[in-house]
Structure 1
């Protein structure tokens, strides 16, 4: 199948997935390009100004790259449930040296400065733009394609793939439930079924004719090969790069990934109000059952806790996003990791 990625003359079919919140640095994306791959800057949670600076830095180094944005797909939180949940975090706040009274207030229901970021990508085009969480308007897709950008949409099911194809996307990222971090599902009220990645790729391939990038739980050359044989033209990996030399992962997060005692991952809404997979810890144990649905309200609510946990080395109160292949994350250069993963492709 012809893929828009062929124009970039990539030597490796293993791409560096976007990881918002710090891990996806310009250095990581540049290293991926130099290895013959393609990496994505994570535009989520960044200001347009900060994203523009990162784009300029990567562009100056040469090589293809992409930018990922969180497309608005808000799930308004129930105000009473939000206030009850905020109150339940008081003990965690005190343990981190924070005043529980600073949590809560009015829920923040913003769109992550969506329109400004789209304007940036239209005035300063990049080779690839991918969307996660929601769907951009058709006009956005048309405009990006008009400036020469390849448009990629994240989907988690054949039904979502059909919608994205109708929208005009050039490619799809097919994300399995084994993926670390947030699920890209278009219906975050429902946690996606646990379908193995090769099976999900095959299902989506039957539904649409678009080129597919497989993602979710891949941490070995064998996993890459299985996804490619199922019909993907490339595989995107994230968790396996979290301990890479060029990643911006915090020390607390890195140590948790390397801790042999942390074997289990769970899907939780406890940190952001949207389903996301991470290492099981005290926070997920205490709050997963009671966390209301509501993104981005819960994301903003727990942000001060997570920043304090990272700074103080408290891995029991930190969002430790990780896929099921997290035990394969290693502390070495990005190029070495991507090259090894592509060995059996």
Structure 2
């Protein structure tokens, strides 16, 4: 079965879910264009998800994807949190922030029974996960509501695991991709492969459809992925500057600047490796540091720095998520970009 038939869409193209830079508006625009729009849900509680789903279903009757994280929340480590805030101390002083005023908290929640209740009500066509799959009972609830299940793999071993545990299709997330790495079986970054090295290996290893993600920014990239056996493509960075995205002015400016040519994996902003445009914090602390608390506990200490700097027009402390190829970022409507990308399927 083709990916389009499996997911009920016209184009085998998925807009990558991108928490913090989009809401239902981008997802609806992409879905209405015949591709699969995605709504990132990891930063939403049940009430927030209900609001977004209500708005999304008012804007489209086409299939859409809901994306959740399924990490295991870590226990807070008081000593590590203190060391992390001490490392950030000079920046707090520079921006006039009192460290004692900063709340602690995870910022991102894993998929839960409470969120599964909303799936029963709204019955999305597709549900995707990052960092593996949820426990069997929760996954069974997702499937019972009629949704097809996708998840990201960054190695052959992860793809085989996902297929064995019930994924209907697998996203081959190459090292070029922006945002959080989806790895979950092995945290060794040296095992992460580029999209066009990973993709054909996954296609050979599993029998479910494989979706290429990472570094694909235009129709030519779409054609290349399909030539290597992809059943479809997932594209995120190219949508960041679309009219319907909620990407900040600071982030948009960075994407359109020479700085976008230099991205790196960093754990500074969340505690887990994610690809973003290199900025001051990444240069001065190093993109990867053992000081950062475990995902997602690093976020709370960074948040006030980000807010203060962005109010001054600076992205020095912002997670400027982006893949290695930002050349497709355009300030156009998402439907127009989707049509341009779809040309890669017609040749």
Give the corresponding residue for 1:296.
296
Structure 1 contact 150–170 (Cα < 8 Å) conserved: yes
1:261-280 map, 5 Å: 261-280=259-278
Instruction: Describe the superposition over 1:178-209 as per-residue Cα deviations: whole angstroms up to 9, x where unpaired.
Output: 11011011047432534221221111112110
Cα offset, 1:260, TM superposition: 2.5
Which structure 2 segments of 5+ residues have no match? none
Cα offset, 1:35, TM superposition: 1.2
Which structure 1 segments of 5+ residues have no match? none
1:211-290 map, 5 Å: 211-287=209-285, 288-290=287-289
Deviates more, 1:135-144 or 1:317-326: 135-144
Instruction: Describe the superposition over 1:248-298 as per-residue Cα deviations: whole angstroms up to 9, x where unpaired.
Output: 101111111111244200111111110000000101112234343511111
1:47 aligns with 2:45: yes
Cα offset, 1:25, TM superposition: 1.9
**3-state SS of paired residue (2:261):** coil
Give the corresponding residue for 2:81.
82
Give the corresponding residue for 2:98.
99
Distance 1:8 1:110 in 2: 27
Distance 1:322 1:217 in 2: 10
Distance 1:38 1:108 in 2: 29
1:1-345 map, 5 Å: 2-3=1-2, 5-6=4-5, 9-21=8-20, 23-61=21-59, 62-74=61-73, 79-103=78-102, 108=106, 111-112=109-110, 114-187=112-185, 189-191=187-189, 193-287=191-285, 288-290=287-289, 291-292=291-292, 294-345=294-345
TM-score by length of 2: 0.91
What is the CA RMSD across the aligned residues, in angstroms?
2.2
**Aligned in 2, Cα 1:245/1:188: closer, same or farther, shift over 3 Å?**
farther
Structure 1 contact 93–99 (Cα < 8 Å) conserved: yes
**3-state SS of paired residue (1:326):** coil
TM-score by length of 1: 0.91
**3-state SS of paired residue (1:82):** helix
Structure 2 contact 259–277 (Cα < 8 Å) conserved: no
**Aligned in 2, Cα 1:301/1:188: closer, same or farther, shift over 3 Å?**
farther
Distance 1:332 1:14 in 2: 18
Structure 1 contact 265–278 (Cα < 8 Å) conserved: yes
Number of residue pairs the alignment of both structures matches? 342
Distance 2:6 2:110 in 1: 31
Cα offset, 1:103, TM superposition: 4.3
Cα offset, 1:304, TM superposition: 2.8
Structure 2 contact 65–124 (Cα < 8 Å) conserved: yes
Distance 1:301 1:184 in 2: 23
Deviates more, 1:192-201 or 1:75-84: 75-84
Deviates more, 1:8-17 or 1:33-42: 8-17
Cα offset, 1:48, TM superposition: 1.4
The 4+ residue runs of structure 1 with deviation greater than 6 A are none
Structure 1 contact 4–150 (Cα < 8 Å) conserved: no
